[in-house]
Amino acid sequence: MIPAALEYMRNVGDSELHQSATAGLFFDNIRETLVYESFELSHARSVNLNSSEPLKFVVFGLNLRNDRILFLHGKFVFRWTASPPGGHHTSSTACIRGKDLQWENGEASCVRGALVPIIAGFSSATLTTAGKAPLVPALFIFGDSLADPGNNNHLISLAKSNHPPYGRQFDTHMATGRFTNGRTAVDFLAEELGLPLVPPFLDSSTKGQKLLQGVNYASAGSGILNSTGMFFGEIITTWKQLEYFRDSTQPEIYKLLGKKAGEDFFRKSIFYLISGSNDFVNGYYFLIPTTPHGISIQDLMQLLISTVSSQLKVLYDLGVRKVGVAGLAPLGCCPSQITKYNLTAGNCVEFLNDVSEKYNDALKNMLLQLREELEDFHLVYSNLYDPLMEAINNPAMYGFNFTHAACCGVGKLNGKFICIPYSRPCDDPQHHIFFDYYHPTSRMYDLIFRKVYFNGPPFSIPYSGQFLVNLTI
């Protein structure tokens, strides 16, 4: 992190420019891109700037082929020019609106005081280089719709999002099966690790050498218990996801790498589990509960925690040593639950948030006990609850205008149902915390990821996700 973006611009070293010179691009065909998204740039550099001004985020990159003016969603203009290898000239011009840009003698400038305050307005910058060596061998993901990259596309299931308006701000601007407008938190994690976006297990192309960068088994509608999600039709339960890893993926990788190298591969890779929400909102509190008949909420929590513990031990027995485990988000703040319990906008369902907090406390305690029992098992708890509550309670701080109303959907707060195929969503998902009745926007996912990856307690326990990644074992 650096305190001022201008200092970065002044101090970019020639060596950094040389590394991206072969690409000569930022985006040849700039698409209708929201002001804040992350992109895979082949051999190019990208910089994300976090601003406390009304314009919250800017994405720009090096363009070494031509000087281009990039229009981002018609609201912002950024110009960055850089010389070929061996040169020294870099310059930048930023205007709030395209119409504020003027040209004179081949140079761009802003009119009417429209220059973005890049010296004091931007508080931090994150530099990433695509094409560098990955930080870990691979990333393996197990979970529900918060991480499903399209596995349910291959199933007969009601829990699908393989249609517009989902995916409008995704890299390809197409629906992939992700329940959001762009990337999910695990997508941002993969990018940070220097890996490609992790492919869905059920995709026919997920085989061979592609397995060596990881596999995503997550399935929308699934839960910790096998009974969860049965009303959606076909889903991949968490236990089935683990079975796919054990009986299909792991043997294939051993064939590719050999036993010894394979064991080292799995020991050093990152595994991530994100599940549990459906066991409550689409299980215990569902119209027709799918949880064991007559079970109390306290006993259900104990059952879920013991089941997660058993699932983690399966991974341990398979040679896995570095695992992130996500807690629950504030379930009572989802548009679906606010609508279900007929609360007014601005209010969360407090008893559901209390359930989330109690479950999270029990999960943290279980992970602590498991770390003590298996000393070489490196388990990190990811706190999804606090980042979302921070954004809900302080929306202006994070650039959100809508805390409970989803960007698309049906009914009050768009909280009755998922986004209807080809329906028109909101025009400003970057200002919404939720994209549909359950799931955050891509921007909110990125904020959650950054909180839990770059920070220790209380966002990541006992240490940050970044520390887990860099841990030598």
| pLDDT (tens place) for every residue of the chain, 473 residues total | 222 322 322 333 323 322 222 222 222 222 222 222 222 222 223 333 333 333 222 333 322 222 333 333 333 333 333 333 333 333 334 444 444 444 444 444 444 333 333 222 222 222 233 446 899 999 999 999 999 999 999 999 999 999 999 999 999 999 999 999 999 999 999 999 999 999 999 999 999 999 999 999 999 999 999 999 999 999 999 999 999 999 999 999 999 999 999 999 999 999 999 999 999 999 999 988 999 999 999 999 999 999 999 999 999 999 999 999 999 999 999 999 999 998 876 799 999 999 999 999 999 999 999 999 999 999 999 999 999 999 999 999 999 999 999 999 999 999 999 999 999 999 999 999 999 999 999 999 999 999 999 999 999 999 999 999 999 99
Report CA dihedral (174, 176, 181, 185) to the nearest 10 degrees: -140
Neighbouring C-beta atoms of residue 446, cutoff 10 Å: 23
Amino acid at site 202: L
- What pLDDT score was predicted for residue 31? 27
Six token digits for residue 80: 């960055």
> Could you tell me whether strands 57-61 and 101-104 are parallel, antiparallel, or unpaired per DSSP bridges?
unpaired
Tell me the CB-side half-sphere exposure of residue 147, using CA atoms within 13 A.
33
| Catalytic-residue membership of 145 | yes
pLDDT at 345: 66
> Helices then strands (H, E): number in the chain?
14, 14
Q: For residue 454, how many other CB atoms are within 10 A of its CB? A: 16
Structure tokens of 399? 């650039």
Residue 337, judged by CB atoms within 10 A of its CB (0-12, 13-18, 19+), counts as buried
Q: Alpha-carbon distance 227 to 223, whole Å? A: 8
Q: Which two tokens stand for residue 204?
A: 């026919």
Which residue in 145, 161, 219, 277 is the catalytic one? 145
Rounded to an integer, what distance in angstroms lies between the CA atom of residue 76 and that of residue 294?
56
Question: Do 21 and 85 contact (CB within 8 A), yes or no?
Answer: yes
> For this structure, is 376 an active site residue?
no
Q: Please name which of 260, 135, 110, 123 lies closest in space to residue 191, comparing C-alpha atoms.
A: 135
Catalytic residue among 436, 442, 446, 464: 436
What letters, b where the CB count within 10 A reaches 16 and e where it falls short, cover 240-252?
ebbebbeeebbee
Q: What is the pLDDT of residue 6?
A: 25
Judge contact between 200 and 126, C-beta under 8 A.
no
**Tokens 């559901």 sit on residue:** 352
Residues 6 or more apart whose Cβ sits within 8 Å of residue 419: 161, 165, 166, 408, 409, 425, 435, 436
Alpha-carbon torsion (302, 375, 190, 17), positive or negative: positive
> What residue has token string 């074992």?
473
